[in-house]
Each structure stands twice: as structure tokens, then as C-alpha cells.
Structure 1
């Protein structure tokens, strides 16, 4: 910023002594614009561009506001190498209870947010920022903006215009604004807003028929305005649940403000200097201070996460995670694994001859990638991605055959009993012809059955075992485990994968994880950064695209026509509902009620019910019955993953607006699994047309495309990657501020990964970067079991 003192003197001179110059002069706005263009927020610069065309009174009002702004600005310090002794990162891992400057109430509110240490507190960043600097004049307030105004109350009165019950007429000395309220019991308004009193309010400025008004403004007390205020995420659970959101926000702000001002200046730098210089990043102590106590930074850039301090924090999140994943990958590569060496081309040709169909080029390509990996002396760690129906299972069968032929056992782990039984049938159908024993291990087996399976796995009689989480129990011992296949990988945690791989008895098994949830490459890179990625991007010949249509409740006759048509052709129908039972909280259709309705509508047909509260054995029995002679299956999303019934050709999803796009795509994938023409009907209430145009736009993505990767990309933009993967983003990734739903953050991801790889080439165990190592171990040591660098 230009010399602040000179600018203030210039403005004061115009206001006090040179009214004529201010009234008639030109070029004042241009001069001020050039002086402030590098430091003032956009709204100031926009006004300066039109300043010379403003009426005299508006010029005067704006200069008063500008004078206040310049007087308040404190630029971030240029020299951040303060004369304080930096501490080691471990000094910041102390529990909150040990911080003498925090009282019990402040400690309690921070703990309710999951903050346990001083480091957690410093990196608990705001969600957004509110500019609570009062505008000196209503003329400076833009309609549609959230503004803080200092006003005098002129009148308070009850009204009855159908929407509002009370209004407060206020003035800034020149213009008027109304504060409007909808409360039925509104007497307290008269106590809060007394005629003649001065108030400070925060709210969104609206306008109708040239009348400016604010609905339900927040009345601010001293200390609640006068600067840029950070807004933090507030949990609704915990010990402070009975405290209002506003009070919680205030307590969090005070506790974190105090913590940051007391300790941030001592926080040690952990990012290598070369990286900081490469991106012109500020130091970490300055970053922590500014993000929690923003001064001299434009509020719009703060909320756009585009200022240098946010850019540094976002990069750090992604860089640390990529470092952790690459360290995990490096650790795995040092393990010894079974060498399953074979002539890849000859094996693929022989495997193809054993099948009754031809593999696609994509299947052949990924099978070769897998076999080449398995031939090395270090473990394969590969993700096999493919859209629904692309034929991942047959590729896994090919890899399994290679391992078994070399004398090794294979474990196939899936998330549900239904899927376990389905995979068991598929693997058994193939391997029975080869004289190879396939076993099934699930939680619903009897104790006697389990003991028998344990014995045959231990003795090596069972060469291929398909199972659920039951496979990772201590009682399960393998004779010679060579390959682990994990289907629907995102349903399992890293530690579950690790527990199964540890059953290799000295040799680290090869690992193939599969996912039918299409994941955009940027996200796959982040989530599965410790894995190599193969993609089946081609559907088997004969598969036809599922025709998808959007229907409203009022078009139910079309639905019945479709159901009757498919049933008359000998096909089967799925009907999916979001709830098991009716709920008082939400008006959605429930599977149990609708099941009774469908039974009455189709008395001659076999209608079955399936939902998540049933036992695994009940679910399996229902699915077997539906596959055998059922006509209609009324269900919740329990059938989302992996169910393969070729005769099913119609999928009806009720209240489709309540599901994510990727989940809808998965459900749609339960039909269209043969050469029969298949359909998917997305059914929504008629009221959605009026109240949620965005939902209709979202659902039309599915009507337009069957490409799961395109659907996933759109889902990530709309709902974020945490929803796409079925996990909490912050919980899984460990991100404090990065969000892969933002295009900017996704763009940073590749740079962060490249930088992480380069750093590990120079310093494989981060022994030269102790603070960085400590921070990674604190964030990811347990999640990823980073014993390699511990």
C-alpha cells in the first residue's frame, strides 16, 4: 500500500478543507485507485473507478468509509523471521489441558471439536470469513451482500403482511433500512430495538420497490464487529451441545485466537526451503497467524481460498498426504513377495481358451499388467478400476489361476455376504473344472463349518477362499498365501487390507484391489496413491446401454406399464427406496410400506422384500429366491454393489433426488447385465420441479450418459470426494483445509505428488527433515502404519 499517513492526510484535507475541490474536482478517484490497487479489496476499487461520477454526498460518504478502511489496515509483516526461538514440532503435541493460558471452558469447547493437542488447534482452520467492519453509509452497501451497519432506531412496530410480524425502521443519518422479523411471539423485538437507540446489525441486504431491508439480522455486541471474523466448523454433538451455535462460535474464536497469538510465532517450519521459494509461499508461522487472525487480507480472496496463506495451507495438506502414501508404497516395495513367474502371452492365450467368451482388449491389457507385476520379487499393489459390468471379476479369476498354478493360495475379500456368495459361485464354476478347491468363509457359517474351513485353509487344501471380514480374524491361517484380491476396496480401511496381507507368513502377498465405483484420476491418485492403477475402459460385446428416464410421481401409470411389460417378457424388476421404514422427520417412501402396496398391485407375481436390518442369512435366502423364481425385489440400497442377475432388466429408484449420482449409477448397474434391453426409471416428487431445479439438473446427468467416470466427475464437483468414496473426507484424507471438490486444489495435487517424489529421492526416510517426518507420523502414522520411517 502507498504511504498510509499521506493518504489519510489527503482524504482528511478533502473532507475538512477542500469541499469545493471534492465537489467539482476530477481525477481524485483515479489517483486513489492507483495508490490502492495492490492492497484494497475489490469493492473499494470498484467504487474508486466510478468515484469521479458520483454525486457529492456519495463521494463524501465513500471517503469517510475509505478513511476508516485505510486506518484499520495492518499489512502482514514483510520480515517473518522473528527474533524468537523456534521449538521442535514435538513441543506442539502437548495436550490442551497443559496449556495454562486456556481456561476450562475454552478447553472444553476445543475438545468438543476433536482438538486434542496444541498442534490440532493451530491447524483447525476457519471454514470462511465474515467482513464485520461496519459500513459508514447505506449508500456503500450492495444489495445481495452480507453487511454490517451502524444504525439508529427510528420506529418499531407490529405488522401483518402475510410474511412478517414485526419491523424496525432504522437510519444511518441519511438513508433508511427496515429490519424485518417473522416471529409469532415478537415482543422481545421491542426490548432489543428501542426508539432512539444505536444498534449494529449483520445481515443480507435486500431491496424491493426501492425499499431496502434485512430479514432477521443478527444484533452484534461490542467485540462482535470491527474486523474480519473467522467462522469455524461447529459440531452439534459433544459436551457443548446445549450451547447456541453463536455462543459456540464465539468461544471457539476466542480460544483459537488466544492460542494462535500466544504460540504460532514459535511454530517450526517443516516445508523445505526449495519448495517455499518455488511457489513463493509464506512461512508457516505467518500462515497460521493470518488464517486465524486475518488482517490486511482481502476478505473475498480469503473466502475464495486464493490468498497466499490459503494456497500454502492447501499445498501442505496435499503434499503431506502424498508423502505419506509414497512412503507407504516404498515400504511395501522393500518387502519380499512370491515370484509368480510365467510366460505372460502363453498363459493369457491358455486362460482365454478356458472361457466361453472372448476377453476385451482392455481386459487383456490389464491382465497382462497384473501378471507382469506378479512375476517380480516385490509385491504387486495394484488398483483395478472398471465401470459396472466391465468384467473385472474374470480378470481377477485369471490372476488367481496364475497364483494357484504356482502353488500359492488366494484370498478374495468382499464387503457383504451377498457379494461373497456371488463371487464364490463364479470362482467355483471356473475352478471346479480345473480340479481346484474353492472355499467360502463368512460370519453366518456355523462354528463347525468355520472350524472345517479354517483347517482346510491352514493345511492348504483350499486353494481359493472367498470371504467377508471373517478372513482377517486371527483364527484364519494360510498355508501359502500368494495373492490377495479385495473387491469394492473403498468399503475397507487401510488397516483391514494390512491385516489380510500380514497372513503371508514371511512373504508379502501380491495385492489386487478392485473398485466398480468410477473415480476421477485426480481423486484416485490421492486416495490410492500407494497403488498402481489399471483401468478397464471397455464394456464386453453384447452389453447394451441402460436407457435411463426421469419420471415424476404423477406419471406412475408409465411406471406400471413398464413393470407389466418387463414381467410379461419373463424379466425381473428391482424397486429401490431410500428408507426401510417411514420416518417422521422426512417425507420419503419406505421399502416396508411400499412392499405391501406392490404385493397388492401385482397379486399374481412373486414380490420379495430386502433391507439392511435383515440378517446375512435372510438376505442370502431372499436373493436366492429372487434369482430362482422371483419377479419383483423391493429393496433399499443393500443391493448397490455387485449383484449379478442377467434376467433383471428394469430398475426403479424412488425418491431418486435423495441419492448421490455415483450411488444411482451403481444401482443402475444391477440391470443391463446381459444382451437384453434394460431400463432405469428415476422417480421424484412433482414438487421438486418448483423447489429444487438443481436436483433435476443433477439427475439429468444420468439420463444423458452411462459413462461412470463422467458421472463420478460430476458427483465429485457437486458433493465432494468424501461422499463419492463413502467416507468422511477429513477423516479419511486427514486434510485440514484442502478440498478436492475445488478445481484449484485438484490442480495442485499433481505438483504436490511430483515434489513429494523428488524429495524422497533426495531424502528417502526424511532424516534430513525431522519436523516434516514428525508431522507425517502424527497425521498418518497409525492410519497407514508408517513403521518404515518411525
Structure 2
């Protein structure tokens, strides 16, 4: 994550080389962890705390509860059982004994533990062979005289390779001595902070590095202390302001409004073999109204698997084409892009629209011709992968950029399309079949308006989901034989291509061969990511055309395959996949009128989180409910992917834990952007390091 910048204080930008004891070697180790300036150390917060302000009698120790004790060495035993072992028994005035156990030690440590020596120990006791023991405690041998206890909780910092905990604590202590005064450091309105019951930034930083003995340790460990909330709130605010600033900058550049001639749209709707749902009509109306404005549309359309987002995208594209301009649709994989291309050609070519296909595998003369058509304007709708953003792809007059599966792209990738427009920024329509929980959308996509297609087309049958242990594989195979004998088709999804010793998962290749042996009467195909694109495509088309009964595949079929006759899906090792991916895979069945089933095949024993995932999937087909649960189980970084700018890189904030702060964050962001834009810029600069993170690529 880029270094935070505390504007108004030159100390913040000072190199760590200005600290005592920091030479080139240590500076390199710190830089590898992203620590280069004083403010980086100010925000390198402890991951936990140790209470060394009190002593606990050995008799009062409880297993699993960290404590500090002081005692006298009673016995020392050095042995070797499978590996070197040092056991030290200490006792105190409570007439109880505690064993200290070490597996890694040096000869001088053994010499330190002389019988009769006094030792102060901190650690977490656990039951041992002879009462309680602490494995590898932190300790110090006490010489004669006074040894006062600590006056604050001891911070335990995230480890940095090659830097010892004591050295790191000393460095952070030095950095904190150069923390600016409260007036210089504070950027948020003080009256507002008092109203929220939050401390100043300076007070929060100092408390988190050295909490007083009476601090609420449980709140600190859970990230809920007011000092942590204070920092999390400002970080969320900076992220929100950064995205909003990006949106304002983009909209300030202007876009050419589309006149909104809907004759082509009406012709398309008249030719479609289905009626639009109310949700599709509502979202299309929002898109149409956006496109009529002289500023670029920035809209995210969320819709569950099969909710009909592509039709809405096609209608939006027709509004651009009706103005004599171009539209582009970009998808994350060639498979999905090709599926879109086939659908759009089927719908739009009868209307006289030229749909052009441009992806990495389009090479040679075909590529030259495609590029020439795009540059001349002969190609009206261009479909492809991220190859559309590459140098050498020049559009004649791009009015609308449609990005599918936004969670697969970072903000920079999406923004790179903006430079492809002429005479204004292209309007942007972003689509995702991975519903994003409202709290996450409010933060992750603050630069976008959000619409939801929250209604499935008529005729889509709910999918019945069951979880089965791997031990019942034989009866499942029989069930597939019966279903295919009745003329239906099935998927068997595996999570690996080749067998792995490290991960207990049936590989696609092995499963394919085993199913061929078990079901000799069935026509079985195999698809995985290492096959050539032509081989993969041929197998997919054979399955879609009914020439195969059973398709064994890896998760490459997560998106882009529409086979209405497929009514049964088996997901092997379902416990290894996230909820969103399981839901996406399940969306491949239930696309026709036949009752459909999804079988989650798992290996016992199931972990708690895996059990919750499978239970959630069995209980609901609602993608938005599933997304909320996925957010709870996995957290925002994993849900959106680390490439989604900012989300995986929060230093302090946690979008799940701190979701209740978002209303205050949004209200304060509105106020600052309206009344104090310069202050808003300084907050973004502090946490994000200027506009670099949000600048167009």
C-alpha cells in the first residue's frame, strides 16, 4: 500500500535513516515491509498486546489465559527426545510449580537458568505432563534489587523478517517522539469528533502503541477500541473521498450526450423470443437516462446468474449505435467474451449491426482487418477481452464502454478505457454476476452508481441443492446414469486438472477416466484450462449441441456456458470453493424448464466455515443473500479480489467489522467535498499518497 502522508509536518516524510541505529541493511529490511518513512512506523500498529503490568501467582494460572509470573528456578533438565529439549521448573510463594519448555535454545540460555535464580516469565500456560507449562515463554533473569513492573500494556507488532521485536519497539518509540502536536496532525473537525465520542488522531496513535493498564484489552484485540475506530474512520473516509474525487474528475471532463433514439431498441425487443422482466426495464431506464447527460455515465449493474444483464447491455449499446457512434464490451476471459459475441451477433446482426470480435487469439490478417474496421467505424460493436485496452486498438468514435465481471478487473484497468474515446470520455457500464453486499458496494464502488437486476426471468426453475459426502459417490454416479438415460445432461466440476499429493481433490483427468469406466454407455467430454482454446471450444459446443451427455470440467465453466438441457451439476470438493464461486457454478443449471439439482460433493471431516458455506448454499438461491454471507466468512479483500484497488490494502479499517461507520463516513465525505475540498484532498493525500492510486492508467 502506498505510504501515508501527514501533510503539514515534514517529520512525516523523513526517512527512517534519520533514526538512531538505522543503517542501509536495516532500512532495506524495513522497506521490504513497506516501511520507509516516520509515518509508516506511526501506523505500524500492534497486532496484539501483552499485560506485563501485574504478576499472577502460579497457583492462579489458567490454561489458555496469557499471564506474567515471577518465580525461583527449582530444577533444570536438558534432554533429547526426537529433538533437543530444555525443561525448567519454577515455583513461587503460592507453593505451586510451572514448567518452562524450550525446543530451540543456546548453551548460554541453559547456563542462565541456574537453580535458585529468579526469573520473570510471560506466556500462555497449557496443560503438560506435570501440571501447567509454557512453551517458549518470553522471560528475563532478575538480578538482585528492584524490578518495577511495566506501566502500560506491551505491544506485539507484526513480525518483520530480520528485525527482532525489541529492535522494532525501540525504532517505533523513536518515531513516536517525533509525532507532531495535535493541532498540526488533526484534519477532522474537532466538534464532530467529540460528537462521535472519538479521540484526536495523535491521542489515538499514542494509545494504540502504549495502552494504559486499565485499557479495554478485549476491545483492542477485536479492533473495537475508540482509538482503533478513530483511525479506521479516517482511513475509510480517505478511501471514499479518493473514489469520489476520481468520479468528479472524470465527470468534469464531460461526455457527449446520446440523443436516446430508441427505434433500434424497440426493433430488438420485438424480435426477442422472451419478454423483459420489470427489473430489466427499470435498470435500462436508469442507463438510458444516464446516457442522455453531458457527463460520462459511471454505473454498475449487479444481477444474479441468468438475470439478463447482457440484454440490458445490448440495449444500451444500441443507443450509442443509433447516434452513429461505437460501443465496446470487454469480458475477463476469451470464453465469456466469445459467448457474449455469439449472443450479440444473434440479436443485432439481423438489425444490420456489425459486431466485431477482437481478442488475443485473433492474429495475423484477421487482426489487421479487425483493427482497421474498429478504426474506420465499420465495426459498430466491438467485443473482446482486455486486449481492447492495448496500444494499437484505435476506436473511430467510442461512446460506450461495457465491462463485464467487474470484480475480475481493477479500477485502473477499467479506467484505461477512458483514453479510448474521442471528443469526450466514453460512458461506462459495468456489469457483475457476483452480487456485492450493499456495505461493500458503498465503499468499493463509491465512484459508481449502482443498479440491481433483482428478478429472474420467468421459466427459470429454482435449483435444488444437496450436500453429499464423498463416500456416497457410487449412488451419485447411478443418479447421473438415470438422468442422462432420460435425455438430460449433466456437469461434473472438479477443482484441479491433475492429481495433487498436497491437496485431497479428485482431478478432472482422473475423474473423467473413472466416469468413463463407470458409465460406458454415456458420451463424456472433458474441458480444462490447459487445453488449447480450439479443443475446449469444440467440446463446449458439442455439449451445448447435445452430442455429449456428461461434461467433466474444471471451474472454467463458471461463466459463459448456457445449456438449457443441463439439469444436474456435481461440484467435487465443494468445501474448497468460496460461496460466490459455488453460486456461479450452480447458475449453469436451472436454465431450462426441467427441475434441476446441484450436488455439493465434499470430503469429511468438514471445517466450520466450509459447513457454513454448504449450508448457506442449500438454504438459498438468492445471490445477494449469499454475497452477504460470503462477506462475513471471507472478508472484502478476498471477495472482490486483491486487484480491486484499495480493498485488500487497508492498514486499519475492516469493511465487515467497521461497516457501521460507513453512514458517518459518507455524511462527512459529503460535507468535506462541499465545504472544505482542500481538507478532503489532504485527507486523501495522508492515507493514499496523492491521486496516483486513482489516476487513470
TM-score normalised by L of structure 1: 0.79
Per mean C-alpha deviation after superposition, the further-off stretch among 719-728 and 769-778 is 769-778
Matched, 1:759 2:672: yes
Partner of 1:721: 636
Inter-CA distance 478–167: structure 2 relative to 1 (3 Å threshold): same
Cα distance in 1 for residues equivalent to 2:601 and 2:645: 32
CA RMSD of aligned residues (A): 3.3
Matched, 1:214 2:133: yes
Matched, 1:667 2:585: yes
Gaps of 5+ in 1: 1-85
Partner of 2:253: 335
Partner of 2:605: 687
Task: Verify the 8 A CA contact 2:118 2:141 in the aligned structure 1.
Answer: no
Matched, 1:419 2:419: no
Equivalent of residue 778 in structure 1, options 681, 689, 696 = 689
* Cα displacement (A) at 1:167: 6.1
Cα distance in 1 for residues equivalent to 2:28 and 2:224: 32
Task: Verify the 8 A CA contact 2:334 2:385 in the aligned structure 1.
Answer: yes
Matched, 1:117 2:34: no
Equivalent of residue 658 in structure 1, options 545, 562, 576 = 576
CA deviation digits over 1:696-743, x for unaligned, max 9? 23321111111111111111111101111122688545421000121x
Partner of 1:469: 386
* Cα displacement (A) at 1:613: 3.4
Inter-CA distance 192–575: structure 2 relative to 1 (3 Å threshold): farther
* Cα displacement (A) at 1:649: 2.1
Partner of 2:465: 548
Equivalent of residue 158 in structure 2, options 225, 233, 237 = 233
Cα distance in 2 for residues equivalent to 1:740 and 1:546: 31
Inter-CA distance 542–378: structure 2 relative to 1 (3 Å threshold): same
* Cα displacement (A) at 1:546: 1.3
CA deviation digits over 1:630-667, x for unaligned, max 9? 33333332222333222222222222221111121112
* Cα displacement (A) at 1:371: 0.7
Q: Which structure has more RCO (C-alpha within 8 Å, separation ≥ 6)? A: 2
Inter-CA distance 724–233: structure 2 relative to 1 (3 Å threshold): same
* Cα displacement (A) at 1:570: 2.7
Matched, 1:707 2:622: yes
Cα distance in 2 for residues equivalent to 1:708 and 1:161: 54
Cα distance in 2 for residues equivalent to 1:89 and 1:633: 63
Give the secondary structure class of the aligned counterpart of 1:173.
coil
Task: Verify the 8 A CA contact 2:265 2:318 in the aligned structure 1.
Answer: no
* Cα displacement (A) at 1:621: 3.8
Give the secondary structure class of the aligned counterpart of 2:125.
strand
Matched, 1:129 2:49: yes
Inter-CA distance 220–185: structure 2 relative to 1 (3 Å threshold): closer
Gaps of 5+ in 2: 1-5
Give the secondary structure class of the aligned counterpart of 1:767.
helix
* Cα displacement (A) at 1:264: 5.2
Cα distance in 2 for residues equivalent to 1:437 and 1:731: 38
Partner of 1:11: none
Cα distance in 2 for residues equivalent to 1:769 and 1:523: 22
Partner of 2:276: 359
Equivalent of residue 119 in structure 2, options 199, 207, 223 = 199
Inter-CA distance 184–142: structure 2 relative to 1 (3 Å threshold): closer
Task: Verify the 8 A CA contact 1:268 1:771 in the aligned structure 2.
Answer: no
Partner of 2:454: 537
Partner of 1:96: 16
Give the secondary structure class of the aligned counterpart of 1:570.
coil
Cα distance in 1 for residues equivalent to 2:71 and 2:537: 68
* Cα displacement (A) at 1:252: 3.5
Give the secondary structure class of the aligned counterpart of 1:220.
strand
Matched, 1:525 2:435: no
Equivalent of residue 480 in structure 1, options 386, 397, 408 = 397
Cα distance in 1 for residues equivalent to 2:631 and 2:36: 31
Partner of 1:257: 173
Cα distance in 2 for residues equivalent to 1:180 and 1:600: 58
* Cα displacement (A) at 1:310: 0.8
Per mean C-alpha deviation after superposition, the further-off stretch among 716-725 and 646-655 is 646-655
* Cα displacement (A) at 1:784: 1.1
Number of residues paired by the alignment?
682
Partner of 2:3: none
Cα distance in 1 for residues equivalent to 2:106 and 2:179: 45
Cα distance in 2 for residues equivalent to 1:618 and 1:274: 66
Partner of 2:661: 748
Per mean C-alpha deviation after superposition, the further-off stretch among 250-259 and 367-376 is 250-259
* Cα displacement (A) at 1:625: 3.7
Cα distance in 1 for residues equivalent to 2:154 and 2:382: 58
Partner of 1:322: 240
Task: Verify the 8 A CA contact 2:330 2:385 in the aligned structure 1.
Answer: yes
Give the secondary structure class of the aligned counterpart of 2:530.
coil
* Cα displacement (A) at 1:103: 3.5
Inter-CA distance 422–318: structure 2 relative to 1 (3 Å threshold): same
CA deviation digits over 1:315-355, x for unaligned, max 9? 011111111111112122222222222377x8765543231
Cα distance in 1 for residues equivalent to 2:600 and 2:548: 22
Inter-CA distance 212–621: structure 2 relative to 1 (3 Å threshold): same
Cα distance in 1 for residues equivalent to 2:371 and 2:430: 24
Cα distance in 2 for residues equivalent to 1:698 and 1:215: 36
Cα distance in 1 for residues equivalent to 2:332 and 2:644: 20
Task: Verify the 8 A CA contact 2:523 2:550 in the aligned structure 1.
Answer: yes
CA deviation digits over 1:424-468, x for unaligned, max 9? 000000011101110111101122211110000111111111100
Per mean C-alpha deviation after superposition, the further-off stretch among 657-666 and 190-199 is 190-199
Cα distance in 1 for residues equivalent to 2:321 and 2:285: 17
Partner of 2:426: 509
Inter-CA distance 148–591: structure 2 relative to 1 (3 Å threshold): farther
Inter-CA distance 549–182: structure 2 relative to 1 (3 Å threshold): farther
Cα distance in 2 for residues equivalent to 1:188 and 1:590: 52
Give the secondary structure class of the aligned counterpart of 1:383.
strand
Task: Verify the 8 A CA contact 2:241 2:680 in the aligned structure 1.
Answer: no
Task: Verify the 8 A CA contact 1:384 1:533 in the aligned structure 2.
Answer: yes
- Listed as ranges, the matches of 1:9-28 within 5 Å are none
TM-score normalised by L of structure 2: 0.89
Per mean C-alpha deviation after superposition, the further-off stretch among 171-180 and 552-561 is 171-180
Task: Verify the 8 A CA contact 1:113 1:234 in the aligned structure 2.
Answer: no
